[in-house]
Amino acid sequence: MTSDKNFHEKNEMKQSSDPCNCCCLDSLYTILDGEASEENTEELMAHIEKCLPCYQQYDLEVAIRELLQTRLAKKCPPQDLLDCIREKIASITITQ
Amino acid sequence: MIPTAYTEKEKNMVFQSEMLPHLDSMYNFAFRLTLDEDDAKDLVQDTYLKAFRFINSFEKGTNAKAWLFRILKNSFINDFRKKSKEPSKVDYQEVETFYNSEEFDNEIEATSDLRSESVQDLIGDEVANAINSLEVDFRIAIILCDIEGFTYEEMAKILDIPIGTVRSRLHRARGLLKEKLSSYAKKMGYLQKS
Ligand SMILES: [Zn+2]
């Protein structure tokens, strides 16, 4: 956290459980999805460091993303799937 | 789009080098849609056969994975979903007017007590259940963006919808997912009941 003073001021102003009105979830998503311009990203990230509700929102979104990427078990395709596909393609190619 | 006229040899080469390497992702996507191993296998096979048949419409140098995902998604909607009795999914009107609705406020309420620490305690089964319980269009949006890392533009092409709709669908899907995760966290006692 770069500016503690600012952070605490905001903290006193706003209960941490209040939904944040200072920046919308949409711009947060745009940044986390890598779809925002560099300028917008810097601007919002600077704000997030100073605003507790925004920071918590950001932190939660990051945690959910990590959860989806790490906890969701990847399935192995059945062993014969690739062979099945190759065989069918081969039979199409021959009959053509 | 100008179709590419591949020779038979090129066809096979493009298929081998650009299509088949995505088998793992394709199978996982198919499984998340059908929630059944046999159906997933059939769906992936169908998709690859279609891909081979229509390979001339694949432009070399473009994103093969997005191209394949689009075919798989369409096969699922047209062939598989018809068989099941699931009612039609996303009501587009509902998505577009979502921001002004009361539901939006309820959603904030429902998830405002969800914290990253309680999310980190959730296990894989709970995450899978939460995703699987989403309506299929919302499930697809989360998979494409958060798991497969497609851009909004690629998603728009895969789903045949404008980028604005990609955004609103993602927004809605993430809100619903948070609600599910929040209820799991509550059930497991990670959250204080408020
Ligand atoms: Zn804020």
pLDDT, one tens digit per residue, over B170-189 is: 999 999 999 999 888 887 77
Look at residue B95 and tell me if it is in a domain: no
Cβ neighbors of B35 (< 8 A, separation 6 or more) are B132
Same domain, residue pair B76 and B136:
no
Contacts of B40 in chain A (CB under 8 A): 75
- CA A44, chain centre distance (Å): 15
Q: Residue B39: enclosing H or E segment and its boundaries?
A: helix B37-53
Extract the tokens encoding B176.
């619903």
Domain hosting A56: range is: 2-95
A53, closest residue in chain B (CA to CA): B112
Q: Is residue B91 assigned to a domain?
A: no
Would you say residue B109 lies in a domain?
no
Residue B39 has pLDDT above 60, yes or no: yes
This prediction's pTM:
0.80
CATH number at residue B134: 1.10.10.10
Same domain, B135 and B180: yes
Residue that is written with structure tokens 């198919």 in the block: B30
The listed range with the strongest mean pLDDT (B42-56, B89-103, B172-186) is: B42-56
Distance of residue A82 Cα from the nearest chain B Cα, in angstroms: 8
B51, B19 Cβ separation under 8 angstroms: yes
State the smallest CA–CA distance between residue A44 and chain B in angstroms. Answer: 18
Domain that holds residue B187: 121-194
Taking the CA of residue B130 and the nearest CA in chain A, the distance in Å comes to: 10
Query: H helices of chain B, where?
Result: 8-14, 23-34, 37-53, 64-75, 81-83, 92-96, 102-111, 116-120, 124-132, 136-142, 152-159, 163-187
Q: Is B28 in the same domain as B80?
A: yes
Residue the block writes with tokens 């598989």: B80
Please check whether residues B64 and B129 belong to one and the same domain: no
- Residue B161 CA to residue B99 CA, distance in Å, equals 19
| Type of residue at B43 | L
Cβ B41–A93 below 8 Å, yes or no? no
Tell me: do B1 and B81 sit in the same domain. yes
B12 touching chain A per CB within 8 A: yes
Confidence at B5, pLDDT banded by 50, 70, 90: confident
Q: Chain A interface, mutation test: which of B16, B28, B114, B119, most A Cβ atoms within 10 Å? A: B119
Q: What is the pLDDT of residues B126-157, one digit of tens each?
A: 889 999 999 999 999 999 999 999 999 999 99
- Both B128 and B75 in one domain: the answer is no
Residues B73 and B133 in one domain: no
Q: What are phi and psi of A28, to 5 degrees?
A: -60, -45
B11: Cβ contacts below 8 Å, ≥ 6 apart:
B52, B55
Residues B141 and B74 in one domain: no
Say what the alpha-carbon torsion angle B87, B93, B95, B99 is, to the nearest 10 degrees.
-140
Pick from B116, B124, B178: which is nearest to A73 by CB? Answer: B124
Total number of domains in chain A: 1
CATH of the domain at B56: 1.10.1740.10
Which long-range CB contacts under 8 A does B13-16 form with residues at least 24 apart?
Answer: B14/B55, B14/B58, B14/B60, B15/A89, B15/B51, B15/B52, B15/B55
The sign one gets for the Cα dihedral B105, B111, B116, B119 is: negative
ipTM given for this complex = 0.76
Six-digit token string for B147: 């798991």
Q: What is the pLDDT of residues A75-85, one digit of tens each?
A: 999 999 999 99
Average pLDDT of chain A, as a whole number: 79
B33-to-A59, B4, B15, B37, B139 alpha-carbon distances in Å: 29, 31, 24, 10, 8
Q: Would B192 be classed as within a structural domain?
A: yes
Answer yes or no: is B99 within a domain: no
One domain, residues B25 and B76: yes
Query: Are B148 and B25 within 8 A, CB to CB?
Result: yes
Residue that is last in its domain, among B62, B85, B108: B85
Domain count across chain B = 2
Residue B90 belongs to a domain: no
- Does residue B174 fall inside a structural domain? yes
pLDDT at residue A96 in the model: 57
Query: Which among B173, B177, B191, B193 has a CA at the least distance from the CA of B115?
Result: B191
- A78 Cα: distance to centroid of ligand 1 (angstroms): 47
